Amino acid sequence: MMVIYLINYLVIINIIAFIVYGIDKLKAKKGKWRITEATLLLLAIIGGSIGAWCGVKVWHHKTLHKKFRYGIPLIIVIQIAMIWYLLKDTLQSYI
């Protein structure tokens, strides 16, 4: 049951992260108030790293910033390792 909640959470937070990166890119183009880099990175850290990475790639946003270019992929790797570690016993029972 925990796996289903985790999957639902990750899907939702990644969609939110992707959309927020798109909104920030749109605001950047229009010269309007921006979403802080801390907020964008926080979305990646709390589970939206794949959505954030897709947002960087699709919207071509924050591509010159090292913390986004290298930080988000590093967060993805760490999160995959954490999920595997936490769920390895549960996942083995499905196999």
Spatial separation of the C-alpha atoms in residues 8 and 5, rounded to whole Å:
5
pLDDT for 86 beyond 90: no
Q: 6-30 b/e with 16+ CB inside 10 Å = b?
A: eeeebeebbebbbebbeebbeeeee
Say if CB 48 and CB 63 are below 8 A apart: no
pTM: 0.88
Domain tally, the chain: 1
Domain span holding position 73:
2-94
Say if CB 54 and CB 22 are below 8 A apart: no
pLDDT per position as a tens digit, 37-85: 999 999 999 999 999 999 999 998 888 888 899 999 999 999 999 988 8
pLDDT per position as a tens digit, 3-24: 889 899 999 999 999 999 999 9
- In whole angstroms, how large is the CA radius of gyration of the chain? 15
Determine the pLDDT at residue 87: 80
Say if CB 60 and CB 25 are below 8 A apart: yes
Pick from 44, 54, 69, 61: which is nearest to 18 by CA?
54
